[in-house]
């Protein structure tokens, strides 16, 4: 049997998204059908519809989701119907070179559903990040379902499925932020604010939020920033050095992903400090730095895909920290919207009005 449900599709590069009927198959071997309860609107969805990720239109957008497993296919043991799960785009294989070396976040053989979801005329859809959850139901690989404590609100839990995990992980997993460190975060949208919350969780002493939008800086303060820098008015490199005794921060996180913000991050870190790039650059962007500075300034230049997370390890822990009152994940949910409001949510995101709009079903 297949299921006809509403879903949000991006048909053409740059065109508005469309709420239409999609067809979702019953799960085959290794797959799970999930009834989506909530799905956040991430900047990466906008990157997809702008053609910034690839040209495999039409896309079924949405990938920061939580929901209930409705049914599972043959051979699925890890989840069962009725389980409350957060969807992830890193279902690791356990067998590739990276997995066997104990670095599963570099797994190059991650699992997705095999059966395509389609439009009603049979056109296959490319699900965003292998998920596609701006839909009442979605079909994923069972390994993409991570069980977490069902006491957490779905609209909060779903955010761990992408942007919030990426930000927290950029600070803790990739950046290795530790007790007493100084941290600067450039770009305080959902991802950057999550990096700030992660830095606080890890015990950073100085947490500098940098953005060109004063509203985002206020949100960053609420999530743990100790200092705010409006980089539309002040040079962030000078400001960050000034707030760190002239040295620069131990860890600087670029949560924008542009050559100019990366260059700011590069020069705002302490000698031997770490730069973490978590914002996703557009394909045409190029970086130019004096190679002598790359050499002479030592330290580490890292990028962070999905916060170097392992969903099965990190999602349940972060949900438990939230439920214990130590991680204010509800602070990321600016508005609850319907499936028909995704295009408006993109405009709100571009206008800087929200940290996260979350589709609630």
Ligand X SMILES: NC(=O)c1ccc[n+]([C@@H]2O[C@H](COP(=O)([O-])OP(=O)(O)OC[C@H]3O[C@@H](n4cnc5c(N)ncnc54)[C@H](O)[C@@H]3O)[C@@H](O)[C@H]2O)c1
Interaction site with ligand X (CB under 6 A)? 42-44, 47, 162-163, 166, 186-192, 210-213, 216, 231, 255-258, 260-261, 278-280, 304-306, 349, 352
Q: Is-contact 216 190, C-beta < 8 A? A: no
Q: According to CB under 5 A, which one of 23, 34, 42, 193 is a site residue for Zn ion? A: 42
Helix, coil or strand: residue 283: coil
For the bound state, the minimum distance from the C-beta of residue 247 to Zn ion, rounded and expressed in Å, comes to: 33
Query: In the complex, which residue's CB is closest to ligand X?
Result: 189
| Residue 99 interacting partner from ligand X, Zn ion, none (CB closer than 5 to 8 Å by kind) | Zn ion
Q: According to CB under 5 A, which one of 19, 93, 301, 360 is a site residue for Zn ion? A: 93
For the bound state, the minimum distance from the C-beta of residue 46 to ligand X, rounded and expressed in Å, comes to: 8
Q: Where are the beta strands (DSSP E) in 172-214?
A: 182-186, 206-211
Q: According to CB under 5 A, which one of 19, 96, 201, 337 is a site residue for Zn ion? A: 96
In the bound state with ligand X, the residue whose beta carbon lies nearer, of 27 and 311, is 311
| Residue 305 interacting partner from ligand X, Zn ion, none (CB closer than 5 to 8 Å by kind) | ligand X
Q: Is-contact 166 278, C-beta < 8 A? A: yes
For the bound state, the minimum distance from the C-beta of residue 129 to Zn ion, rounded and expressed in Å, comes to: 7
Stretch touching Zn ion by CB under 5 A, among 27-35, 99-107, 248-256, 272-280:
99-107
Edge-first strand order for the sheet with 300-303 is: 227-230, 206-211, 182-186, 249-254, 269-277, 300-303
Q: Tokens 């730069």 sit at which residue?
A: 275
Instruction: Say whether residue 112 binds Zn ion (CB under 5 A).
Output: no
Burial class (CB in 10 A: 0-12, 13-18, 19+), 344: middle
Instruction: Say whether residue 162 binds Zn ion (CB under 5 A).
Output: yes
Burial class (CB in 10 A: 0-12, 13-18, 19+), 123: middle
| Residue 279 interacting partner from Zn ion, ligand X, none (CB closer than 5 to 8 Å by kind) | ligand X
For the bound state, the minimum distance from the C-beta of residue 208 to ligand X, rounded and expressed in Å, comes to: 12
Report phi then psi at 278, rounded to 5: -115, -25
Edge-first strand order for the sheet with 118-119 is: 118-119, 18-25, 2-10, 59-60, 126-127
| Residue 309 interacting partner from ligand X, Zn ion, none (CB closer than 5 to 8 Å by kind) | none
Instruction: Say whether residue 355 binds Zn ion (CB under 5 A).
Output: no
Task: Show Cβ contacts of residue 226 under 8 Å, excluding neighbours closer than 6 positions.
Answer: 205, 206, 207, 208
Helix, coil or strand: residue 141: strand
In the bound state with Zn ion, the residue whose beta carbon lies nearer, of 164 and 229, is 164
| Residue 143 interacting partner from Zn ion, ligand X, none (CB closer than 5 to 8 Å by kind) | none
In the bound state with Zn ion, the residue whose beta carbon lies nearer, of 216 and 356, is 356
Are β-strands 126-127 and 59-60 bridged in parallel, bridged antiparallel, or unpaired?
parallel
Burial class (CB in 10 A: 0-12, 13-18, 19+), 230: middle
In the bound state with ligand X, the residue whose beta carbon lies nearer, of 144 and 304, is 304
Site residues, Zn ion (CB under 5 A): 42, 44, 92-93, 96, 99, 107, 109, 162-163
């Amino acid at each position: 049997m297949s299921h006809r449900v509403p879903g949000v599709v991006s048909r053409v590069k740059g065109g508005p998204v469309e709420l239409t009927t999609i067809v979702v198959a019953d799960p085959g071997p290794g797959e799970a059908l999930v009834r989506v309860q909530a799905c956040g609107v991430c900047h990466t969805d906008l990157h997809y519809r702008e053609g910034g990720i690839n040209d495999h239109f039409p896309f079924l957008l949405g990938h920061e989701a939580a929901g209930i497993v409705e049914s599972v296919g043959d051979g699925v043991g890890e989840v069962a119907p009725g389980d409350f799960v957060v969807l992830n785009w890193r279902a690791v294989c356990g067998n590739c070179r990276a997995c066997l070396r104990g670095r599963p976040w570099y797994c190059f053989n991650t699992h997705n559903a095999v059966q395509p979801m389609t439009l009603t005329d049979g056109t296959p859809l490319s699900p965003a990040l292998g998920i596609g959850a701006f839909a009442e139901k979605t079909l994923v690989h069972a390994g993409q379902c991570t069980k977490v404590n069902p006491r957490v609100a779905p609209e909060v839990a779903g955010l761990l499925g992408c942007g919030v995990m990426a930000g927290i992980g950029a600070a803790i997993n990739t950046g290795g932020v530790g007790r007493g460190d100084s941290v600067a975060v450039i770009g305080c949208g959902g991802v950057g604010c999550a990096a700030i919350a992660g830095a606080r969780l890890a015990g950073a002493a100085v947490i500098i939020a940098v953005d060109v939008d004063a509203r985002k800086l206020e949100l960053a303060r609420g999530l743990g920033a100790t200092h705010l820098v409006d980089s539309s008015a002040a040079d962030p490199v000078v400001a960050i050095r000034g707030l760190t005794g002239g040295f620069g921060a131990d860890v600087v996180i670029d949560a924008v992903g542009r050559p100019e913000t990366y260059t700011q991050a590069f020069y705002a870190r302490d000698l031997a400090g770490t730069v973490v790039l978590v914002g996703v650059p557009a394909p045409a962007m190029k970086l130019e730095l004096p190679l002598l500075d790359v050499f002479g300034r030592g330290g580490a230049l890292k990028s962070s895909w999905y916060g170097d997370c392992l969903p099965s390890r990190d999602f349940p822990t972060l949900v438990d920290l939230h439920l214990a009152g130590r991680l204010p994940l509800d602070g990321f949910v600016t508005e609850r919207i319907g499936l028909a409001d995704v295009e408006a949510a993109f405009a709100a995101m571009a206008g800087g009005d929200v940290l996260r709009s979350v589709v609630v079903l």
